[in-house]
């Protein structure tokens, strides 16, 4: 086998808008995406205090349809899709037979026999192949990679609802958390989902690529007076980390199990069969040996992805995510610790450029939004 | 843009020499590339560094960058306001110095470039 040629970076339908706004563009999962516009700190705070506008069109969409679509989704997704009503979504995992992560995803029930799976950008091809192979033999169900049919725009923050509401007749307050509705936003046919990756209330809006710019522009003009700011991948990462939302490929991957990641709640234990079930049932009975934990630095220093982690003299792993977050103004991170050393208050040390710096396990999430 | 009263390195530090002492900071280009600075790791007063040796690091939300000493010397002062207000580097990169050093050999300026050459480098 020879190395594949390096492909040109993919661009979302909003690429021109980002460049026009002066965004600093970076390569992410094969896509050229905005890292930041005005600055990560300012964008992060805008989302916590007012609202942020994100282009997440790089995310992948895979649709599963057919008379046996539910059975197909049930086989490849750990969560119990039978509990979804039409118009409802759930967080889930694509698991390996060992109970580790191929990827994490959102499962939307579009119809009784029609599901939309939203997967991570860098793993669209891998996930699609995995799903297509995984549902073979289930019966009447077909998986189609429909990623190019969708642009995805997220509006996140305490003022997200009023901003989007000013552009739609759909009663947004009636859409519950992890529910979605269809309708027009700024005269653009949309699927409006009350979901997000920031720890704030907000919406993710699926539209056709050719009308994405119109929606983006309309949201920016009506939102700006309310404090809406375009926000890039940098702020998206610091926001999701404060909310302790896992990042696939970093906090969770094929070496970490769904239970170790603290995500037993996305396992449909009552389901008789799904990929990874046997391993997860065994692991639940035996107990996990290590656990994803949140920590904050006790001494000065910033832990970052890949830095070694010590408990006593033992090197126990690496930091899976770490930064100094703009809202909490603390250096925080995620890592896997041996079960015995993983309780809140326990100490560990992060090796920062050759020096061991003290850290302490804290409860997750780091940030929880105040609810009115 | 880049003040002509000092010299620069290709690692994006500036050094402003006055007699046998000098102040060191990072350039406007460096702060732009880093983004919002949230942490500066400072050396101790008294520590000595060769020309080009790493004397500390500077971190933004997103990235870590090493700081290199543009000329050999001993640290006589560190800018402790950066402990609590690291973001001042973004606001005024050419005004906010990071360390002051007593130069080992003040005429040893090989490898440093002037403002025009630096502006050319980052253009």
B119 domain residue, yes or no? no
Contact B35 A304 (CB under 8 A): no
Distance CA A322, CA A359 (A): 12
Q: What is the pLDDT of residue A3?
A: 54
pLDDT tens-digit readout, A117-126: 999 999 999 9
- Summarised one tens digit per residue, pLDDT across range A55-80 is 999 999 999 999 999 999 999 999 99
How many angstroms separate the CA of residue B60 from the nearest CA in chain A? 8
> Does the distance separating the beta carbons of A301 and B38 come in below 8 Å?
no
Considering the domain delimited by A289-372, tell me its CATH architecture.
Beta Barrel (2.40)
pLDDT tens-digit profile of A239-262? 999 999 999 999 999 999 999 999
Extended beta strands in chain A, E state: 24-28, 31-36, 51-55, 60-65, 89-95, 101-111, 114-119, 142-145, 151-156, 180-185, 188-193, 202-207, 228-230, 290-297, 308-311, 314-324, 331-338, 347-352, 355-362
Whether B15 maps to a domain, the answer reads: yes
- Residue A268 above 90 pLDDT? yes
Q: What is the pLDDT along chain B (123 residues), one digit of tens a residue?
A: 899 999 999 999 999 999 999 999 999 999 999 999 999 999 999 999 999 999 999 999 888 999 999 999 999 999 999 999 999 999 999 999 999 999 999 988 899 999 999 999 999
| Mean of pLDDT over chain A | 96
Structural domain count, chain B:
1
Gyration radius from chain B CA atoms: 13
Tell whether the model's pLDDT for residue A40 goes beyond 70.
Answer: yes
Has residue A371 got a pLDDT over 90? no
Longest Cα separation, chain A: 61
Q: Alpha helices, DSSP H only, in A135-292?
A: 160-165, 212-223, 233-242, 277-286
- A18: region left, alpha or beta (phi > 0 left; psi from -120 to 50 alpha): alpha
Q: Domain A15-56+150-242 class?
A: alpha beta
Q: Which of B38, B56, B86 to mutate to test the interface with A (most CBs of A within 10 A)?
A: B38
Of B39, B59, B61, the CB nearest to A234: B61
Region A156-178: mean pLDDT is: 98
* Cis geometry, peptide bond prior to residue A165 (ω within 30 degrees of 0): no
Q: What is the pLDDT of residues A85-120, one digit of tens each?
A: 999 999 999 999 999 999 999 999 999 999 999 999
* DSSP label at residue B42: P
Q: Do A353 and B57 touch (CB under 8 A)?
A: yes
Nearest chain B Cα distance for residue A218, angstroms: 28
Nearest-CA distance B107 → chain A (Å): 32
Domain extents in chain A: 15-56+150-242, 60-147, 289-372
From A343's Cα to the closest Cα of chain B, the distance in A is 27
Nearest 10 degrees: Cα torsion A87, A91, A97, A101? 140
Q: Which residues of A touch B36 (CB under 8 A)?
A: 39-42, 326
Q: Give percent of chain A with pLDDT exceeding 70.
A: 98
Inter-residue contact A80 to A268 (CB < 8 Å): yes
Predicted confidence band of residue A1 (pLDDT cuts 50, 70, 90):
very low
3-state secondary structure of A128: helix
Of the candidates B57, B61, B87, the beta carbon closest to that of A323 is on: B61
Cα gap A195→A106, rounded to integer Å: 9
Of A41, A302, A304, the CB nearest to B36: A41
Per CB-CB distance under 8 Å, the chain B contacts of A325 are 61
Q: Which two structure tokens, joined as six digits, stand for B77?
A: 């002062």
Cβ–Cβ under 8 Å, residues B8 and B14: yes
Q: What is the CATH number of the domain that holds B67?
A: 2.40.50.100
Residues A217-236 have pLDDT tens digits of 999 999 999 999 999 999 99
Verify whether the Cβ–Cβ distance B39 to A323 is below 8 Å.
Answer: no
Q: How far is A324 from chain B (nearest CA, A)?
A: 6
Query: CB–CB of B36 and A304 under 8 A?
Result: no
Distances (CA, A) of B51 to B72, B102, B119: 4, 12, 22
Which residues constitute the domain of residue B18?
Answer: 7-106
Distance between CA atoms of residues A351 and A18, nearest Å:
37
Distance CA A281, CA A197 (A): 29
Among the four given CATH numbers 3.40.50.300, 2.40.110.10, 1.10.10.10, 3.30.70.1400, the one describing domain A60-147? 3.30.70.1400
- Identify whether the C-beta of residue A274 lies closer than 8 Å to the C-beta of residue A268: yes
A112: tokens are 């009784």
Q: Residue B24 pairs with which residues in a beta bridge?
A: B15, B99
Q: Name every chain B residue with its beta carbon within 8 A of the beta carbon of A302.
A: 38-39, 59, 64
> Which residues of B make CB contacts under 8 Å with A?
35-36, 38-39, 41, 57, 59-62, 64, 87
A4 has pLDDT over 60: no
Token pair of A212, please? Answer: 């994405």
Whole-number Å distance between alpha carbons of A15 and A51? 21
CB contact under 8 A, A300 and B39: yes
DSSP state of B109: -
Angle, vertex CA A203, rays to CA A197 and CA A209, nearest 5: 95
| Rounded Cα gap, residues B10 and B20, in angstroms | 22
Query: How close does chain B come to A35, measured CA to CA in Å?
Result: 10
CB contact under 8 A, B60 and A40: yes
Q: Give the pLDDT confidence score for residue A5 in this predicted structure.
A: 59
| Separate counts of helices (H) and strands (E) for chain B | 4, 9
Contact residues, chain B, for A307 at CB < 8 Å: none
What pLDDT, on a 0 to 100 scale, did the predictor assign at position A6?
Answer: 63
Pair type for strands A290-297 and A202-207: unpaired
Average pLDDT for residues A303-331, to the nearest whole number?
96
Residue A28 confidence (pLDDT) above 50: yes
Rounded-to-integer distance, Cα B48 and Cα B76, Å: 9
What are the backbone dihedrals phi and psi of residue A233, each rounded to the nearest 5 degrees, phi first?
-65, -25
Torsion of CA A317, B57, A356, A362, to 10 degrees: -70
Contact A106, A199 (CB under 8 A): no
Q: Which helix (H) or strand (E) holds B74?
A: strand B73-78
Q: Identify how many contiguous H helices and E strands chain A contains and give both numbers.
A: 8, 19
The residue assigned the tokens 């069969």 is A273
> Does residue B117 form part of some domain?
no
Q: Give the pLDDT of residue A207.
A: 98
- Separation of alpha carbons A264 and A294, rounded Å: 17
Query: Which residues on adjacent β-strands are paired with residue B26?
Result: B13
């Amino acid at each position: 086998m020879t190395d594949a040629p390096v492909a040109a970076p993919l661009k979302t339908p909003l690429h021109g808008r980002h460049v026009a706004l002066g965004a600093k563009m970076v390569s992410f999962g094969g896509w050229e995406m905005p890292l930041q516009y005005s600055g990560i700190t300012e964008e992060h705070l805008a989302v916590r205090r007012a609202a942020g506008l994100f282009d997440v069109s790089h995310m992948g969409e895979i649709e599963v349809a057919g008379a046996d679509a539910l059975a197909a989704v049930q086989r490849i997704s750990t969560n119990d899709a039978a509990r979804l009503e039409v118009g409802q979504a759930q967080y889930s995992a694509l698991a390996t037979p060992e109970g580790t992560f191929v990827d994490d995803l959102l499962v939307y029930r579009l119809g009784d026999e029609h599901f939309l799976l939203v997967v991570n950008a860098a793993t669209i091809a891998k996930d699609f192949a995995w799903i297509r192979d995984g549902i073979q033999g289930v019966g009447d169900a077909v998986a189609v990679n429909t990623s190019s049919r969708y642009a995805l725009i997220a509006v996140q923050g305490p003022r997200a609802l009023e901003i989007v509401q000013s552009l739609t007749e759909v009663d947004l307050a009636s859409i519950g958390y992890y529910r979605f509705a269809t309708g027009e936003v700024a005269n653009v046919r949309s699927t409006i989902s009350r979901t997000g990756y920031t720890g704030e209330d907000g919406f993710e809006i699926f539209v056709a690529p050719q009308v994405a710019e119109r929606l983006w522009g309309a949201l920016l003009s009506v939102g700006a007076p309310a404090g809406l700011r375009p926000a890039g991948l940098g702020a998206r990462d610091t926001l999701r980390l404060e909310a302790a939302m896992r990042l696939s490929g970093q906090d969770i991957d094929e070496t970490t199990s769904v239970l170790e990641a603290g995500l037993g709640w996305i396992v449909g234990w009552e389901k008789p069969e799904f990929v990874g079930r046997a391993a997860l049932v065994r692991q639940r009975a035996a107990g996990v040996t290590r656990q994803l934990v949140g920590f904050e630095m006790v001494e000065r220093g910033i832990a970052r992805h890949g830095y070694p982690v010590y408990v006593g003299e033992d090197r126990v792993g690496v930091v899976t995510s770490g930064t100094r977050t703009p809202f909490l103004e603390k250096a925080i991170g995620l890592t896997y610790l041996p079960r015995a050393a993983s309780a809140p208050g326990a100490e560990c040390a992060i090796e920062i450029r050759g020096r061991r710096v003290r850290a302490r396990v804290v409860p997750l999430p780091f940030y929880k939004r105040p609810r009115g | 843009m880049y003040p002509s009263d000092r010299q620069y390195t290709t690692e994006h530090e500036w050094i402003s020499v006055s007699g046998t002492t000098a102040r060191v900071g990072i350039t406007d280009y460096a702060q732009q590339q880093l983004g919002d600075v949230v942490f500066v790791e400072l050396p101790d007063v008294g520590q000595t560094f060769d020309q080009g040796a790493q004397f500390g690091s500077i971190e933004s939300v997103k990235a870590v960058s090493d700081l290199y000493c543009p000329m050999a010397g001993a640290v006589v002062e560190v800018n402790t306001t950066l402990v609590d207000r690291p973001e001042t580097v973004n606001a005024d990169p050419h005004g906010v110095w990071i360390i002051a050093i007593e130069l080992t050999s003040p005429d040893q300026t090989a490898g440093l470039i002037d403002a025009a050459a630096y502006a050319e480098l980052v253009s």
